[in-house]
Amino acid sequence: MRLLLVEDESRVASFIARGLEDAGYATDVVGSGKSALALFRAGTEWDLILLDVGLPDVDGFEVLTEIRKSNQSTPIVMLTARGDVPSRVKGLDLGADDYLPKPFDFDELLARVRAQLRHDRQRYGSVIQAGSLTLDLKARKAIRGERSFDLTSREFALLEFLLRHQGQVLTRSQILSGVWGYEFDPQSNVVDVYVGYLRSKLDEPDAESLIETVRGGGYRLRSLQAVE
Whether residues 59 and 140 fall in one domain: no
Residue 82 has pLDDT above 80, yes or no: no
Residue 108 has pLDDT above 60, yes or no: yes
pLDDT in tens, 136-149: 876 778 888 888 88
Strands 133-136 and 141-144, by their bridges, are: antiparallel
**Per mean pLDDT, which range of 11-20, 67-76, 130-139, 217-226 is the poorest?**
217-226
Query: What is the model's pLDDT at position 227?
Result: 41
Whether residues 133 and 111 fall in one domain: no
Whether residues 18 and 119 fall in one domain: yes
Whether residues 185 and 99 fall in one domain: no
pLDDT in tens, 166-202: 778 888 877 877 777 645 566 778 889 999 999 999 8
33-39 contact pairs (CB < 8 A, 24+): 33/6, 33/57, 33/58, 33/59, 33/60, 33/62, 33/63, 34/58, 35/6, 35/182, 36/4, 36/6, 36/63, 37/63, 37/66, 37/67, 39/4, 39/177, 39/181, 39/182
Can you state the angle between helices 85-93 and 60-68, rounded to 10 degrees?
20
Query: What is the model's pLDDT at position 101?
Result: 87
Whether residues 131 and 120 fall in one domain: no
The dihedral region occupied by 13, where left means phi > 0, alpha psi between -120 and 50, and beta the remainder, is alpha
Residue 126 has pLDDT above 90, yes or no: no
Whether residues 211 and 139 fall in one domain: yes
Whether residues 10 and 59 fall in one domain: yes
Whether residues 63 and 166 fall in one domain: no
Question: Other C-beta atoms within 10 Å of 207: how many?
Answer: 8
- Asked which of 108, 124, 140 is the last residue of a domain, the reply is 124
**Per mean pLDDT, which range of 79-93, 108-122, 176-190, 202-216 is the poorest?**
176-190
Give the number of domains in the chain. 2
Whether residues 40 and 98 fall in one domain: yes
- Asked which of 59, 92, 124 is the last residue of a domain, the reply is 124
Which of 180, 163, 69, 44 has the alpha carbon at shortest distance from 189?
Answer: 180
Query: What is the model's pLDDT at position 154?
Result: 82
* 191: containing domain: 127-227
Query: What is the model's pLDDT at position 226?
Result: 40
Query: What is the model's pLDDT at position 83?
Result: 67
For the chain, what is the radius of gyration of the CA atoms?
Answer: 18
What percent of the chain is predicted at pLDDT more than 90?
Answer: 30
